[in-house]
Amino acid sequence: GENVEQHPSTLSVQEGDSAVIKCTYSDSASNYFPWYKQELGKGSQLIIDIRSNVGEKKDQRIAVTLNKTAKHFSLHITETQPEDSAVYFCAASPGAGSYQLTFGKGTKLSVIP
């Protein structure tokens, strides 16, 4: 089955700096890679996702890059703000015809004002 590794487990950055979280996956058939943000007292929310037919996707301060050859993908948050503090989870799925999402263990991001 799929195995997703996520690093780092914790990350502290100064407000305004960038944060990068990296994930690797094992199943070359995976072609859908979402990122979820988990905040205290809230359900986890999808913040960005990417499918394997593109190498990069950007949404305002958040971007995701995908390297299919190396089987890794990364979340980039620029100009971090205190409200970005949360636990972030990456996931991988075989995509079409599949519903399975395998999650990483999460990264606790702390943005220091």
Cβ proximity to another protein: between 92 and 111 the closer is 92
Give me the DSSP letters along 26-71: S-TT--EEEEEEE-TTS--EEEEEEETT-SEEEETTEEEEEETTTT
Q: CB nearer to another protein: give 28 or 98.
A: 98
- Nearest distance from residue 77's CB to another protein, in Å? 19
Contacts of 54 (CB under 8 A, 6+ apart): 66
Q: Which residues bind another protein (CB under 8 A)?
A: 4, 6, 9, 32, 34, 36, 41-46, 49, 89, 91, 93, 95-106
The nearer residue to another protein, 28 or 100, going by C-beta atoms, is: 100
Q: Cα(111)–Cα(82) distance, rounded to whole angstroms? A: 5
Minimum distance, C-beta of residue 12 to another protein, in the bound complex (Å): 17
Q: How far is CA 13 from the centre of its chain?
A: 17
Chain centroid to CA 11: 13
Residue 38 or 78 with smaller CB distance to another protein: 38
Least separation in angstroms between residue 27's CB and another protein is: 14
The answer to whether residues 48 and 37 touch, using CB atoms and an 8 Å cutoff, is no
Least separation in angstroms between residue 4's CB and another protein is 8
